[in-house]
């Protein structure tokens, strides 16, 4: 079993629990091309919002397995979330996510818009006002002090990153997050949780999600099929998890019934992208 907060290991190129650098799932999602740049909206978020218009706007969102933070920042900047928390078991990835957040704030500027429908002056955020080269040359914008006004009017200050393992075997009473979130995302991550923590850990994870969701909140799972599990333990990927694979009895097709028993009902499923996306609601 892996430690609660595993790191990649000095000089290691093999992720311990699927914590690939900038991991975004199957490259088939992008027709064999590399994943798009950070300023291009993640197609999964676009599809999810089209399926459920209320799922992101003004919502308190948790992204499990946030990696380097691209999805979290996009949710806060482009989907009008109230707050977004990203968690990952890899502290190195969380540091990179915090760096990515700082980088995005450093590119932005408040600009004045004089011509509006009611003829009032309006100020808006231009998130890409400064080119990447400017940030590389001059460094990141320092965060405002406790008594200083934020030059970006609080833009992206509703984002938090934490090192956390939601499948860890801890007493349920210590979670202290009942009803904390409107939407929980588990995009291309459940397989790794399952391989690392086995069937019991998977059930713990699903139970914690059910507990943390408010009434009528949503759990979104990008499903990784069983063939993906088998590929994951191959040499040069995560062969150290091969023993765990043999001990797993629950299959991805069983997830729906487990979640149903926890009070989460599947309300939408789409096969539009390379991997199916399932939306469950706490009813």
DSSP track, 66-132: -TTSHHHHHHHHHS--SEEEEEES-HHHHHHHHHHHHHHHHH-EEEEE---TTS--EEEEETTSS-H
Q: Residue 116's pLDDT is what?
A: 56
**How many angstroms separate the CA atoms of 41 and 74, rounded?**
7
Q: Does the structure show a pLDDT above 70 at 23?
A: no
Q: Does the structure show a pLDDT above 50 at 1?
A: no
pLDDT band at 17 (very low <50, low <70, confident <90, very high): low
pLDDT band at 178 (very low <50, low <70, confident <90, very high): confident
Q: Does the structure show a pLDDT above 50 at 114?
A: yes
Strands 83-88 and 159-163: parallel
For residue 134 the two structure tokens come to 């400017």
Q: Does the structure show a pLDDT above 50 at 53?
A: yes
Q: Which residue has the tokens 């991997």?
A: 275
Q: Which of 225, 229, 168, 165 is nearest to 201 (CA)?
A: 168
Q: Residue 7's pLDDT is what?
A: 52
**How many angstroms separate the CA atoms of 47 and 212, rounded?**
24
140-154 mean pLDDT: 89
Q: Are 166 and 197 in contact (CB under 8 A)?
A: no
The pTM (predicted TM-score) of the whole model is 0.86
E strand or H helix that includes residue 192: helix 190-212
């Amino acid at each position: 079993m892996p430690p609660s907060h595993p790191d990649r290991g000095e000089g290691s190129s093999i992720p311990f629990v699927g914590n690939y650098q900038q991991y975004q799932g199957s490259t088939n999602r992008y027709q064999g091309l590399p994943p798009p740049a950070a300023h291009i909206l993640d197609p999964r978020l676009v599809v999810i919002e089209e399926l459920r218009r209320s799922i992101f706007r003004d919502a308190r969102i948790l992204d499990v397995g946030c990696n380097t933070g691209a999805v979290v920042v996009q949710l806060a900047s482009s989907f009008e979330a109230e707050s977004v928390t990203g968690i990952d078991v890899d502290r190195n990835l969380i540091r990179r996510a915090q760096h990515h957040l700082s980088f995005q704030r450093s590119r932005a500027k408040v600009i004045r818009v004089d011509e509006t429908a009611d003829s009032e002056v309006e100020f808006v955020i231009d998130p890409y006002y400064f080119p990447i080269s400017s940030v590389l040359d001059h460094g990141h914008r320092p965060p405002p002090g406790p008594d200083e006004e934020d030059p970006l009017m609080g833009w992206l200050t509703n984002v938090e990153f934490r090192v956390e393992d939601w499948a860890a075997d801890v007493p349920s009473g210590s979670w202290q997050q009942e009803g904390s979130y409107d939407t929980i995302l588990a995009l291309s991550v459940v397989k790794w949780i399952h391989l690392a923590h086995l069937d019991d850990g998977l059930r713990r994870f699903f139970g914690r999600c059910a507990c943390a969701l408010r009434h009528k909140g949503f759990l979104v799972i990008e499903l990784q099929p069983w063939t993906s599990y088998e590929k994951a333990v191959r040499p040069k990927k995560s062969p150290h998890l091969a023993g765990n694979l043999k001990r797993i009895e629950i299959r991805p097709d069983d997830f729906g019934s487990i979640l149903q028993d926890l009070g989460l009902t599947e309300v939408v499923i789409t096969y539009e992208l390379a991997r199916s996306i399932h939306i469950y609601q706490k009813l």
